[in-house]
Amino acid sequence: MTAGQPRKAVADAGRIPGDAPRGPAAADAPGSGGPAVALAKPDPAALDRPGVAATRAARPARPARRVPAPLLNAVSLAAGVGVWALLAAHGVGGLPGPAAVARRAEQMLRDGTLEGDMLASLRRVLAGFVLGSVLAVVVGFLMGWYPVVRALCEPYVQFFRTIPPLALIPVAVVLMGIGETPKIFVIFLAAFLSTVVATLQGVVGVDRTLINAARVLGARDFAVFLRVVIPAAAPFILVGMRIGLGSAWATVVAAELIAAQEGLGFRMQHAETYYDLDTIFVGLVAIGVLGLVMDRLLLLAENRLTRWQERR
């Protein structure tokens, strides 16, 4: 072994397999006064080592790009109308097509029939829904906050929940006459029963740790109720109101059978006598559109009032 061989052996011992040779074995850079450092190329086999593969697997994947919800809604709506038109074209059950329903809606808009019926139904739904929701929130908070009130009122709430509001129409007519009052009453009852149960559940389900922490910090009952209980129960209340809104629109059709002279339910019942499916479908679509718009408004209010809530 020559004098230069031990140095080469030491250099080779510290070299990782796959690295380029270092030291005097490297070629001199052209035009330089000394030896150049050769840049080692990565060994493809080294990239398949377990450590490198684990590092690659640990890197989080890029999140998939989400399709905007309005675009999905538009696609769903177009698909639904397409299926409807396809069924009507094949004569399934005498179903009227979208074009025929649109022509009848245009005719009803020109003579003012559709606009008057929509306003009449909307007025009744808003009156019953607002009254029922406001009273339901008050009663639900009292039942959830005070066990005595809950014990007194809960049997009645659960009893009337099992009775469909439509079954009370004959009683409402006998006691209240045939004017607007019985119509609004059954809508009120449908909205009230849905919202009061949701409000009660929201108040009862408030985390006791939050209430105790607020009291330890010196908050009184009114402050705890205002700053802790109401925000925590708000999601339940708004969900109950959305359910109550659907119940109100489902009830208005039957409620308008009580000696009504206008309204979407009245118009649909009148069209049934003449087997006028086009007019019936105009009423169905109008109720669905009005209900959907009101539900979207409630959902917008829910998103704004419960920004603190984690969502997917």
> pLDDT higher for 14 or 216?
216
Tens digits of per-residue pLDDT, 250-297?
A: 898 888 877 688 999 999 989 988 889 999 999 999 999 999 999 999
| Domain segments of the chain as ranges | 98-305
Got the DSSP string for 190-238?
HHHHHHHHHHHHHHHTS-HHHHHHHHHTT--HHHHIIIIIHHHHHHHHH
Is the model's pLDDT at 86 over the cut of 70?
yes
CB 161 within 8 A of CB 167: no
pLDDT interval class at 65 (50, 70, 90): confident
Assigned CATH for 98-305: 1.10.3720.10
Q: Is the pTM of this model over 0.85?
A: no
Question: Residue 41: what pLDDT?
Answer: 55
Question: Which pLDDT belongs to residue 62?
Answer: 61
Instruction: Count other C-beta atoms under 10 Å from residue 32's C-beta.
Output: 8
Type and span of the H or E element at 21: none
pLDDT one-digit tens code per residue, 110-146:
999 999 999 999 999 999 999 999 999 999 999 998 9
Residue 277 and residue 98: Cα distance in Å, rounded? 12
Q: Say what percent of the chain tops pLDDT 70.
A: 78
* Better-predicted residue by pLDDT, 291 or 207: 291
CB 179 within 8 A of CB 124: no
